[in-house]
Structure 1
Amino acid sequence: MSHDDSDEALRALITDVMKQGHISTHGLWVYYFSIGGDLDELEVDAYLHGLMPLPVLDEDLLAVAVAEMYADT
């Protein structure tokens, strides 16, 4: 699996968990920002729609944020 494939797989997983947990983009961004993310909401939204890649750290922070938010549902 290439790096691009793993990036796409993680993005798809994040968006699937968001749908299952009824997590909004805004809610995810707020949580992500509160745990140290520094991208703006528009950049996160573009990533979630597959329009731009993110640095690995930010992808990881989004994954942590959505997992923690999902666990709280």
Structure 2
Amino acid sequence: MDGNSNSGDKRSCERPPGEGHCGSNENVVMGDPRQAALDMVQRDEIDIFTIWLRYFAYGGDADELDFEAGIYGLLGLDEYDALILSWVVEELSAQ
């Protein structure tokens, strides 16, 4: 999330068990997961720290400050981080 994208970066997928394979679009929230997460925060359904904690547990590598800046659109999310965030948003939406 620091803007220094490395196209050769091959991070491993740590998708939760039973939720499709890496790169799979099944069970992924459609649209921008940042907006979905921000909507949840603005409706007081959850706080950003809890979203970040789950994102980090699934393999996200942004620190809490960069993650929050990404949610608010101040920093971009790369494809990998957006995928992880979509898993988190989907999980939280199902609760």
Q: TM-score by structure 2 length?
A: 0.58
> Higher Cα Rg: structure 1 or 2?
2
Distance change >3 Å, CA 20–CA 31, structure 1 → 2: same
Count of residue pairs brought into register by the alignment: 64
Larger helix fraction of residues: 1
Residue equivalent to 2:55: 32
Q: TM-score by structure 1 length?
A: 0.73
What one-letter code is carried by the residue in structure 2 that aligns with 1:68?
Answer: E
Structure 2, unaligned runs of 5 or more:
1-30
Match of 1:59 among 72, 82, 90: 82
TM-superposed deviation, 1:33 = 0.7
Q: How big is the alpha-carbon RMSD for the aligned residues of Structure 1 and Structure 2? A: 1.8
Distance, in Å, in 2 between the alignment partners of 1:24 and 1:17 is 8
